[in-house]
Amino acid sequence: MKVVIYSHDADTRARVRLAIGRRPAPDVPEAEIIEVATEPALFRLLDAGGVDVMVLDGEAQPAGGMGVCRQAKDEIHACPPVLLIIGRADDGWLATWSGADMVVSHPIDPRALAGALADLMRQRGAVAKA
């Protein structure tokens, strides 16, 4: 299952990649991780299709993950589910505005991130089977 990680920060992308591992839970497919550092690169991938789940860094610069999520949900037909990493718990309402499917907070808790991503992968798998 293709999982895209979007952040301008290589360290954040590495922490997300480590939290995911080969697969975030035993009952989901292996994650084929694709890292992107820029908004244009992300939208090129989405336009090409085949992305199953996205992990977006809400603190990414210059285009934050919340705005990118909102744009993707508005513009991409059958937009993949989004796990949004927010800077603080109080930003949860903005994550709702953005259309994120699930939210975790910085600093990244590997178990919480892997659990949330696994849930989205299960949902995506169920939709693909239907």
Beta bridge partners of 54: 4, 82
- In tens, the pLDDT along 35-91 reads 999 999 999 999 999 999 999 999 999 999 999 999 999 999 999 999 999 998 788
- In tens, the pLDDT along 96-115 reads 899 999 999 999 999 999 99
Q: Evaluate whether 71 touches 64 at the Cβ level (below 8 Å).
A: no
Domains of the chain: 2-98+105-129 (3.40.50.2300)
Look at the block and give the residue holding tokens 């360290």: 11
pLDDT tier at 128, thresholds 50, 70, 90: low
State the pLDDT at residue 125: 79
**Residues recorded for the chain:** 130
Residue with the larger pLDDT of the pair 66 and 129: 66
CA atoms within 13 A of residue 4's CA, in its CB half-sphere: 26
The beta strands (E) that lie in 2-78 are given as 2-6, 32-36, 53-57
pLDDT tier at 32, thresholds 50, 70, 90: very high
Element (H, E) at 11: helix 10-20
12-19: average pLDDT: 97
Q: Give the global pTM.
A: 0.94
How deeply is 17 buried, as exposed, middle or buried, from its count of CB atoms within 10 A (0-12, 13-18, 19+)?
Answer: middle
Nearest Cα neighbor of 112 from 19, 14, 47 is 19
Element (H, E) at 44: helix 39-48
pLDDT of residue 130 exceeding 70: no
